[in-house]
Amino acid sequence: MASIHSYNFAGKRALIRVDFNVPINKETLEVTDDTRIRAAAPTIKHIIDQGGSVVLMSHLGRPKDGYEQKFSMENIVDHVSKVIGTPVKFGGDCIGEGAYEMSKALKAGEVMILDNVRFYKEETAGDEAFAEKLSKHGDVYVNDAFGTAHRAHASTTVAAKFFPNDKLFGFLIEGEIESVDKVLNSAEKPVTAIVGGAKVSSKIVIIERLLDRVDNLIIGGGMAYTFVKASGGQIGNSLVEDDFLEMAKSIMEQAKAKGVNLVIPTDTIIADEFSNDANTQEVQIDAIPDGWMGLDVGPNTIDACREVIVNSKVILWNGPMGVFEMESFQKGTVSVANAIVDATSNGAFSLIGGGDSVAAINQFNLADEVSYVSTGGGAMLEYLEGKELPGIKAVRE
């Protein structure tokens, strides 16, 4: 496998699969959050600085059947151009004549973008003939779309096979892989994982895998109540998955057997309805009255989590501690975020990986104060589960 660090892009057209599936204002058609564009910029700049040219391809939204203006990449061309500091040409239909003429004529340092690859249903079907057509736009294939690396689509996976010796990862994917590997295979200890979020069922594979790799495992969010109930606690009307009580018990036993310090909340903030304006109380987590539900962790749990986190050398955070979207129930999640920031400033490596903890760290404006914030929700979860992501495999093999 080639490497972006050593590959000579001079005089080559790089076909880069980026993840520019960015939110767009429905009325003005302007980009409202350009995180994903900024994340791909280093790869694009590196290639044009070396004298290569760039053909960008991505999906945007979920078009139903063919072209729809609101999902056209044309809407984001100016924004991409601003972010990378280079004019970007719009190639139109990703396998249209015009696009081929444009990509063939690209000069060193020039950048163009193809229209939404999902205007063709062959994209999500992983159609080989379509992937081959896309491959004609480049001399070298660069995958820098971590957010879609878990999909075996034409542009994310199948296209790689048409570049047997000229396929590589961009800086973004490389960074994502390196940071997860740093956490999962860390020689430095203690390693702490904080797993929160709504449901234990969606995180079970990750939790079991982490038990072999971490010293501390903090459980938070809605899933904590399934653990509390499994231990015989009264959880009132809190979120629970009764089908997973046995699994929760098994996790507690496995943690004990493996010498993992499993931190389960001891106190909680309860509410009499699922609302920011609900009446609240602070109670022991195993003594929640009927009619009340736990929506955040309590102060003793916050202190216990902080103690573990600030003494960690490596930290993975996946999933919020409570309903952080509501101000009344965000203290637990804010406190974990702050503890991670403090540990990071003391030299720990911290990865915020997957879904809502990424949303939380961004909401609290702390993304720049942790080591790495993943850009791939579902992809990061699958990578943490130990699955081989098709987009990554295709470049590696």
Q: Give 92 or 376: the residue with its C-beta nearer to ligand AMP.
A: 376
Under a CB-based contact definition with an 8 Å cutoff, are residues 364 and 131 in contact?
A: no
- From 65-73, 192-200, 228-236, 249-257, give the range in contact with ligand AMP by CB under 6 A: 192-200
Per CB under 6 A, 174 contacts ligand AMP: no
Residues 352 to 381 in contact with ligand AMP, rule: CB under 6 A: 355-356
Per CB under 6 A, 294 contacts ligand AMP: yes
Helix (H) or strand (E) holding 314: strand 314-318
Q: Give 208 or 325: the residue with its C-beta nearer to ligand AMP.
A: 325
Name the catalytic one among 12, 13, 36, 151: 36
Asked about 353 being catalytic, the answer comes back as: no
Per CB under 6 A, 199 contacts ligand AMP: yes
Q: Give 18 or 206: the residue with its C-beta nearer to ligand AMP.
A: 206
CB atoms near residue 121 (< 10 Å): 13
Q: How far apart are CA 312 and CA 358, in angstroms?
A: 20
Q: Which residues contact 287 (CB under 8 A, 6 or more apart)?
A: 233, 234
Cross-strand pairs, 317: 194, 352
Choose among 394, 393, 389, 374: nearest CA to 178: 374
Asked about 306 being catalytic, the answer comes back as: no
Minimum CB separation from ligand AMP for residue 284, in Å? 15
Residue number with the smallest Cβ distance to ligand AMP: 197
Helix (H) or strand (E) holding 193: strand 191-195
Asked about 233 being catalytic, the answer comes back as: no
Q: Give 108 or 326: the residue with its C-beta nearer to ligand AMP.
A: 326
Residues 234 to 273 in contact with ligand AMP, rule: CB under 6 A: 239
Per CB under 6 A, 221 contacts ligand AMP: yes
Name the catalytic one among 45, 136, 199, 213: 199
Residue in 126, 147, 170, 222 binding ligand AMP, rule: CB under 6 A: 222
C-alpha dihedral over 254, 257, 262, 268, to 10 degrees? 70
Minimum CB separation from ligand AMP for residue 246, in Å? 20
Show the DSSP H helices in 111-244 as ranges. 121-125, 128-135, 171-184, 204-210, 224-230
Q: Which residues contact 6 (CB under 8 A, 6 or more apart)?
A: none
Under a CB-based contact definition with an 8 Å cutoff, are residues 239 and 203 in contact?
A: no
Q: Give 55 or 381: the residue with its C-beta nearer to ligand AMP.
A: 381
Asked about 378 being catalytic, the answer comes back as: yes
Minimum CB separation from ligand AMP for residue 198, in Å? 3
CA atoms 3, 9, 13, 18: torsion sign: positive
Catalytic residues: 36, 199, 355, 378
Binding residues for ligand AMP, per CB under 6 A? Answer: 197-199, 202, 221-222, 239, 294-295, 319-320, 322-323, 325, 355-356
